[in-house]
Amino acid sequence: MGSAYRKYDWTMDSISEKERVSGCPDLYLSFHVEAWKAFMEFQHRFDFRKSKFTENFLRELQLITDAGFLNEFIMEEYGWLMFPPDNVKFRLEEYKKWKSESKITINLNNRFATISFNIKQ
C-alpha cells in the first residue's frame, strides 16, 4: 500500500491537473523510483510476516538499490521507454556488469496495485 500511496502523492505533487486527466503518469521514471523506495521502506517500519515471494522480491530490490542501479533496473524493465529526470545519469556499462554477476529474478511488470484518477464533479 505504501507504494500505491506514494505513486498517488508523487502524481499529485508533480503532474498538472490537465495531464492527470489523460491517465496515470507511469511514463515518468520518478513515479516508479519513489514508489519502489516506499515499498522497501515499509518493510523496515512494520514487522509483518511475509511470503517467500515477498521476501525474495524485497531482498532483490534492496540489492539493486544498494548497488545504486534502481534507475537503470526500472528503465530496463520497462524497455527504456520512460522520461527520466534531467539530473539522472545512467551507468549502463557498470549496470550490465553488475547484473551479469547478480542473480536478479524479480519482474517489475507484475501488477500489485491499480491506481486511477477521477475528476471531481
User: For the chain, which residues score pLDDT lower than 50?
Assistant: none
- Owning domain of residue 83: 2-101
Inside any domain, residue 9: yes
Is there a contact between 3 and 38 (Cβ–Cβ < 8 Å)?
Answer: yes
Inside any domain, residue 120: no
Using alpha carbons only, how large is the chain's radius of gyration in Å?
15
Inside any domain, residue 113: no
Inside any domain, residue 22: yes
Inside any domain, residue 93: yes
Inside any domain, residue 14: yes
**Looking at residue 60, what is its pLDDT?**
94
Inside any domain, residue 90: yes
Domain count, the chain: 1
